[in-house]
Amino acid sequence: GESVGLHLPTLSVQEGDNSIINCAYSNSASDYFIWYKQESGKGPQFIIDIRSNMDKRQGQRVTVLLNKTVKHLSLQIAATQPGDSAVYFCAETLYSSASKIIFGSGTRLSIRP
Site for another protein, residues 7 to 46, rule: CB under 8 A? 7-8, 32-34, 36, 41-46
What is the rounded CA–CA span in Å between residue 34 and residue 32?
7
Told to check if 89 binds another protein by CB under 8 A, we report: yes
- For residue 92, with 0-12 CB atoms within 10 Å meaning exposed, 13-18 middle and 19 or more buried, which class applies? buried
Smallest separation (angstroms) from another protein to the CB of 33: 8
Q: Which of 19/93 has CB closer to another protein?
A: 93
d(Cα 41, Cα 39) in Å, to the nearest integer? Answer: 6
Minimum distance, C-beta of residue 94 to another protein, in the bound complex (Å): 8
HSE of 112, CA atoms in CB hemisphere, 13 A: 8
Binding of residue 70 to another protein (CB under 8 A): no
Which parts of this chain interact with another protein (CB under 8 A)?
1-8, 32-34, 36, 41-46, 49, 51, 89, 91, 93-95, 97-106
